[in-house]
Amino acid sequence: MPMTGNLRSILAMLVAMGSFSLMDAVLKTLAGSYPSMQVAALRGLTSLPLVCAYVWWRREVHLRLRLRWPLHLLRGVLGIAMLALFTFSLRELGLAESYTIFFVAPLIITMLSIPVLQERVSLRHWVAIAVGLGGVLVALRPDQDAFFSLSAIAVLMAAVFYAVSAIAGRVLCRTDAAVTLVFWTTAMWAVGAGALAWPSWVPLDPSHGWLLMALAVTGFFGQLAITEAFRHGKASAVAPFEYSALAWAILLDFTIWHILPDRYTLLGGAIIIGSGIYLIRKEKVRDVTVAP
């Protein structure tokens, strides 16, 4: 039986979080050598050729110009601000601390889905979000001082911008194809962030070529997957699975920065995974019931 509805979107979200976690590790590395806005521009510029190739492969080169431009422009502006702010925060904070603060985004998405998308949020979704957020706090136990730093405020603002952009994308998916959203969002990042970064542009280090390639691939697949995730499923059902990025943060911290997870990290991860499995089982039952 093919996957339908929320279950399909949940799997797409899991792929997106894996891709974006790898991308964030690249952003953190590049943030030490380039201005934040330039790193945001590189995010769009490196992915744009892959997006164009994908559009050509889909035989959708004739992208429609009669689009809901206000929402597309809103997503472009929010995306640029989100990337720049998050990259700025990575200069001072680790991936774990940044993710802890950024994980307020699923709750914001769920709250916005009620008035904007007219979705009915069930009690189990609220419980899953609360349990998942609690698991993040147990696992990462962030330094209280970090929450009041400029970098922490930057992450919080990035999370708000991301949540609003995700809701706007869900609205656009009702009328526009996913490939259209991916193309115009990436193009706006490349052009908009590139124009803002140009006055203080730092020449690229040739040794960073492999990082730019990794940024292109992870950004492209992440953007494609997250667009599909919010296209087919309820935002309130899909958003909690952004917590799966915690597993990637643990893996990347150990692989790149040689940080071993402690028992609290493992306990928090178990809580988050448990809440995710609960929702997956519920959505699978729902999809099987609705499919006939």
60-100 residue pLDDT tens: 655 566 678 889 999 999 999 999 999 999 888 778 778 87
Cα 159 to Cα 139: distance, rounded to the nearest angstrom: 19
Q: How confident is the model at residue 117 (pLDDT cuts 50, 70, 90)?
A: confident
The number of angstroms, rounded, from the C-alpha of 198 to the middle of its chain's C-alpha atoms is 25
Q: In angstroms, rounded to a whole number, what is the distance separating the alpha carbons of residues 233 and 57?
A: 25
Q: What is the mean pLDDT of residues 135-150?
A: 67
Q: Which residue has the higher pLDDT, 45 or 1?
A: 45
pLDDT at 112: 84
Distance CA 221, CA 186 (A): 12
- Buried-exposed string 74-91: b where 16+ CB fall within 10 A, e elsewhere: bbbebbbbbbbbbbbbbe
Mean pLDDT, the chain, rounded, equals 82
- From residue 239, give the alpha-carbon distance in Å to each of 68, 162, 188, 218: 24, 11, 24, 20
pLDDT in tens, 180-189: 888 888 999 9
108: part of which helix (H) or strand (E)? helix 105-113
Of the CA atoms within 13 Å of residue 127, those in its CB half-sphere come to 8
* pLDDT, position 230: 73
Amino acid at 178: A
The answer to whether 88 and 154 have CB atoms below 8 angstroms apart is yes
Percent of the residues in the chain that have a pLDDT greater than 70, as a whole number: 85
- Identify the weakest region by mean pLDDT among 140-154, 218-232, 275-289: 275-289
Q: Specify the DSSP element, H or E, that contains 80.
A: helix 69-90
- pLDDT (tens digit, 9 = 90+) per residue, 266-292? 787 778 777 766 766 665 555 444 444
What is the pLDDT, as a whole number, of residue 290?
A: 42
Predicted model pTM? 0.80
